[in-house]
Structure 1
């Protein structure tokens, strides 16, 4: 079966719409519609996280064949809303969500909430409860952590090698780098993930990283998967995404 996939969006609604336009163009050329998998990190860093969530919610409500996975940045919003948590222990640098390098303040600004590292979390949470629709929090909380198909596992960050999918830990699926990125064993299905920003999407043989750095201003490039074969979608058409020789 065919699947399209889109990596980390990070609040860039225009880039998301452009990625969907490239997918629609590819479907028009091939005459073969297919589901679209969004790999998480819908929010943070970009200017319109609220718009991204509203766009995806509206598409799903309209019956679009879309799947949206949860990313670690998405979990920041739900945790702050529910429990006023700003620090995830998986952030090795000790940064809190409002630090400009993580981008939580930009997300809340898209809802009209001013937040900073020096702000009072109690007051910020109170304003968040007033201005962030709880439906958006329910949406994030409901997002699955992965989607498994016959040939591909779609997930935000990656998997813990050697662990069955039903035994994977949420923190690994949302955060893992060490122990996964350097592992070159065959996981069975191809692992398609984001989370680790590259200069452009890349194929490593046993995995594909689709995070081309949209959160840092680079293009959001969607991909097509048929079995384990992969193509990037460009304005001019498909570009084969082959395993690197490195």
Structure 2
């Protein structure tokens, strides 16, 4: 970790633009909309533009199967890397152990199963978990399962570290545990120091994207807010591209912001 006085403005290598997208949570409609806006934004892109999805493609929203299908087909305006979220981790665990549904049903698992055409009524009564696991194994396309299993826990580029939930203070970035990268919240969010890279994450919904000196949060609660957000990183610049609605109509929310300085 670096002390604030030694910290330089975070930047990407010259000629690279990264779109880092927050939690989609089954909102294929918003993913489609943001993809169109990214496609339009590419008109003035540098030599290389790349997208990093920060995890949580499934659960809560109505069309998890559609989101996974689009990403598994690599149908997006740029090349991309998909990171794993805690919700993908739970879904994969359910494929191995049906009892996982006892908890998963409380935070979006039933919506995901329903999106794959599975009758979830028994699970609403706490029944039929094994049968639902078997049904999901039958209905889940191999390409979907391969996509989920191939998701990565983190990646880095330039002065940025990308993960789903955050990192544990006091632990070097290259030694972070998968559990913390997928699940950490309070210990990470309350930390007022800095790391040797700026952490770009989702996992914790916020009303507005947080562009801070040491971390960037782009989870704007898409499943409930209908706002799916990407932070656009290029050189030392950060700006926001989203599916926000203004004045009753759909609009790109784009705001260029100077790099925040450590307090």
TM-score class, shorter = 0.7 to 0.9
Match of 1:10 in 2: 25
Query: 2:51 is matched with which residue: 36, 40, 43?
Result: 36
Of 158-167 and 170-179, more deviation after overlay is shown by 158-167
Of 43-52 and 209-218, more deviation after overlay is shown by 209-218
d(CA) in 1 for partners of 2:255, 2:127: 46
Match of 2:177 in 1: 169
Contact 1:232–1:238 (8 Å) recurs in 2: yes
Match of 1:72 in 2: 86
d(CA) in 2 for partners of 1:140, 1:182: 30
Q: Does 1:52 align with 2:67?
A: yes
**TM-score of the two chains, using structure 2 as the length reference:** 0.82
Of 26-35 and 3-12, more deviation after overlay is shown by 26-35
Q: Does 1:96 align with 2:111?
A: no
- Deviation, 1:226, is 2.1
Match of 2:115 in 1: 110
- Deviation, 1:161, is 1.8
- Deviation, 1:124, is 1.3
d(CA) in 2 for partners of 1:207, 1:132: 35
- Deviation per CA, 1:162-199: give whole Å up to 9, x if none: 32233211110001012110112121211000000011
Q: Does 1:230 align with 2:238?
A: yes
RMSD of the TM alignment (CA)? Answer: 2.3
Contact 1:151–1:228 (8 Å) recurs in 2: no
Contact 1:79–1:85 (8 Å) recurs in 2: no
d(CA) in 1 for partners of 2:164, 2:30: 18
Q: Does 1:220 align with 2:240?
A: no
Contact 1:202–1:244 (8 Å) recurs in 2: no
- Deviation, 1:227, is 4.1
Structure 1 gaps of 5+ residues are: 88-94
Query: 2:197 is matched with which residue: 184, 189, 195?
Result: 189
d(CA) in 1 for partners of 2:222, 2:252: 20
SS at match of 1:198: coil
Distance 1:165 1:106, change over 3 A: same
- Deviation, 1:33, is 4.3
Of the two, which has the highest radius of gyration?
Answer: 2
d(CA) in 2 for partners of 1:212, 1:11: 14
- Deviation, 1:74, is 0.9
How many residues of Structure 1 are paired with residues of Structure 2 in the alignment?
A: 236
d(CA) in 2 for partners of 1:164, 1:244: 22
- Deviation, 1:64, is 4.5
d(CA) in 2 for partners of 1:198, 1:63: 26
- Deviation per CA, 1:29-51: give whole Å up to 9, x if none: 34554100000000101111011
